[in-house]
Amino acid sequence: MSRRTFTALALLATLLVAGVLSFYASESPDGLEHVAETTGFAAAETDHATEASPFADYGFTLVDSDRLSVAVAGILGCAVVLLLMLGLARLVRRPSVDAEA
Amino acid sequence: MHVPDGFLDLPTSAATGAVAVAGVALALRGARRELDDRTAPMAGLVATFVFAAQMITFPVGAGTSGHLMGGALAAILVGPWTGVLCVSVVLGVQALLMADGGITALGTNITLLALVGVVVGWLVFRALVLVLPKRDAVIPPVAFAAAFVSVPAAAAVFTGLYAVGGTAPVSIGAVLTAMLGVHVLIGIGEGVITALVVASVLKARPDLVYGARHLRPVPTVEEVSA
């Protein structure tokens, strides 16, 4: 498989997960929240400093449809993570063979 | 396992913040040996996949869910130092943009998911790879084991942090038992997802699996640019 095909397939799979499958995610509290509730420290949680973010809790406040809302948040989050990590990796990596020549 | 604000007191959060800064700084140095023109794009793909996969909370028994942590997966695909950077970037975006995981708890979450997840996952992976036959077929089951162990390990470290700096007076024994119980189950999901993804990449582009590099010759210039 060529590098280009691999990258395209990987991105497509990732966007499907974030933009489509994410709608079907479990609504139950996660392991830590569950333990916090059963053992009695859940109430210690304080308000989140960025809960006013338009993308808080993986939604997008400007969109009414739940399905579209989570898709927008998921795909936007993917784009931000991809750009940040590509930028960081470019900064950190060794100079390429060409650059040394 | 995204720790919200308020579970741990400020001194403990500050201490884990310092651990996270030190860990990420070390990872920035270490990742120079892992990242090149070929692996840098892979690091972007892996971080993005971990972010997407963490949106998929899967049910684990009565009224509880879990999701991928991704530390073991990232370490196996792009190397442990780069893996720490990938998961840290994901956690930063989640806390700042998605209000998932507290801001004062960001250091705690980087410590648990990026540092503990990657270090435990990578050590288990390497230990098993060293003693098992040198074949591709061994890699996915070993990835399962590494990812599986990393989840209760992070849960145990959280409990340790809670014993030191928890804000509510609860039985630490009860917290430890409950945390390990549920996170062993979540660990199975972590292992299955990690093994499936590693097996898929291994099949498509075996040269892009950092943890399987010892199984193949050093790539030629043509392969690097392919």
- Tens of pLDDT along B168-207? 999 999 999 999 999 999 999 999 999 999 999 999 999 9
Q: How confident is the model at residue A75 (pLDDT cuts 50, 70, 90)?
A: very high
Q: How far apart are the CA of B4 and the nearest CA of chain A, in angstroms?
A: 6
Model confidence at B218: pLDDT above 80? no
CB contact under 8 A, B5 and A45: yes
> For position A100, what pLDDT does the model report?
45
> For position A101, what pLDDT does the model report?
40
What is the Cα Rg of chain B in Å?
Answer: 17
SS3 content of chain B, % helix, strand, coil (to 5): 75, 5, 25
- Report pLDDT digits (tens) over B153-175: 999 999 999 999 999 999 999 99
C-alpha B94/C-alpha B68 separation (Å) is 14
- Report pLDDT digits (tens) over B80-127: 999 999 999 999 999 999 999 999 999 999 999 999 999 999 999 999
For residues B149 and B186, the answer to whether their CB atoms sit within 8 Å is: no
Average of per-residue pLDDT values in chain B: 95
Chain A residues with CB under 8 Å of B60 CB are 31
Q: Is B155 on the interface with A (CB under 8 A)?
A: yes
- Of A91, A84, A94, residue with least CA distance to B32: A94
The encoded tokens of residue B212 equal 């399987």
Query: Using CB atoms and an 8 Å cut-off, which of residues 121-150 of chain B contact chain A?
Result: none
A-chain residue closest to B175, CA distance: A39
Residue B65's alpha-carbon distances to A1, A47, B58, B68, B131, in angstroms, are: 36, 22, 5, 11, 34
> For position B25, what pLDDT does the model report?
98
Q: How confident is the model at residue B61 (pLDDT cuts 50, 70, 90)?
A: confident
Q: How confident is the model at residue A51 (pLDDT cuts 50, 70, 90)?
A: confident
Model confidence at B77: pLDDT above 70? yes
Domains in chain B, CATH or no CATH each: 10-225 (1.10.1760.20)
C-alpha A37/C-alpha A52 separation (Å) is 25
> For position A54, what pLDDT does the model report?
92
A-chain residue closest to B183, CA distance: A31
Which residue of A4, A7, A34, A35 is the best one to mutate when testing the B interface, meaning the one whose CB has the most B CBs within 10 A? A35
